[in-house]
Amino acid sequence: MRAIDVHAHLVPQSLWRAAEAGKDWYGYRHEAGQGLGVMVGNGKRTAFSSPKVRFTTDERLKDMDAQGVDVQVLSIHTPFFGYHLEPAQGRQLAREVNDEIAGLTRQSPQRFAGLATLPVQDVTAAIDELERAVTVLGLKGAELDTNVNGEQWDEPKFLPFFKAAEAMGAVLFFHPQPQHNFLMERTPRDGLFNSLGVILDDAIVVAILISGGVLEACPDLRVCVAHGGGPACFAMGRLDRGWQSRPEARRIPQPPSAYQRRLYYDSVTGSEEALRFLLDQVGADRVVLGSDWPFVSWHPSPVAWVQGLKSLSQEEKERILWRNLEALLDLK
């Protein structure tokens, strides 16, 4: 049985080369310390919790083999989106990273597919780079943060971007920045910014895409949300109630729950019970394998975890592990 992982991060080799040379990388500066040290930029500090972020391609492939993963869909480690940069510099970062990811997919086309990063602080530049990434580099779409410098994705300025992505058939994978979400401001204790803050951001972007009319305006848009969409599907009843009772919530012609099956969700839910609930809400054809490589410790692997779940049928497991992504990303 195949296994295709939609949620596999990459820290660019150009970043490590800059760090070794003592140079900044698009405004990010490396500070030596425990483990791999930290990157400092945009007023934030990003530590690396896994030594695998420095793996060579051969080491990554060996790790994939050990986990039973046939294909990784590569995307940049989210603290390095670079949305805060001036548009020209953000575009340069995106082009450099996308060229690197495309190089890996050309080197090992049977093992890697790729998602671009985009300078979405400039919508026109983002559309141009997405088109280059998809039509020239052969990438499958783009990874996006759950907001753009505090702006939400249902702002009218972003609609041309979604229309362009829809026309290209590009897959958009939404993933929040784990150490930079709003829960960090409320409490930094107990790692809640990661265990809880991340999935709250996932749920917010699901709600924004639905209630803000993005999915209504772009019915063929291909979107996948990390971490099972967080608690979004669990909250659909409340979103529906708001749509029914609050005039300001009626920006869409149908209740929010009518749109939840237009999205895809990865399997990084944290428990079998949560994954079972998600499957019951959206259907097995809308859930895909994710590992959050290399930041989640799987014992022994995300593939073995799905295969061992007793509440899932064999057909559900096959859909999650490879069938859904093979079709969505055209990986046959």
Q: What is the pLDDT of residues 85-95, one digit of tens each?
A: 999 999 999 99
Intervals of the chain under pLDDT 70: 179
Whole-number pLDDT of residue 177: 87
DSSP designation for 293: B
CA distance 328 to 332: 10
- Report the 10 Å Cβ neighbour count for 58: 9
CA atoms of 62 and 75, how far apart (whole Å): 19
Q: Give the relative orientation of helices 159-168 and 123-131 as an angle to the nearest 10 degrees.
A: 10
Which tens digit of pLDDT belongs to each residue from 226-256?
999 999 999 999 999 999 999 888 899 999 9
Which residue type, as a one-letter code, is found at position 295?
F
Domains annotated for the chain, with CATH where assigned, are 4-328 (3.20.20.140)
Tell me what pLDDT residue 248 has. Answer: 85
Q: Tokens standing for 151?
A: 């702006």
What is the pTM assigned to this prediction?
A: 0.97
C-alpha–C-alpha distance, residues 254 and 239, integer Å: 11
Q: What pLDDT digit, counting tens, does each position of 49-62 carry?
A: 899 999 999 999 99
Q: What percent of the chain has pLDDT over 90?
A: 87
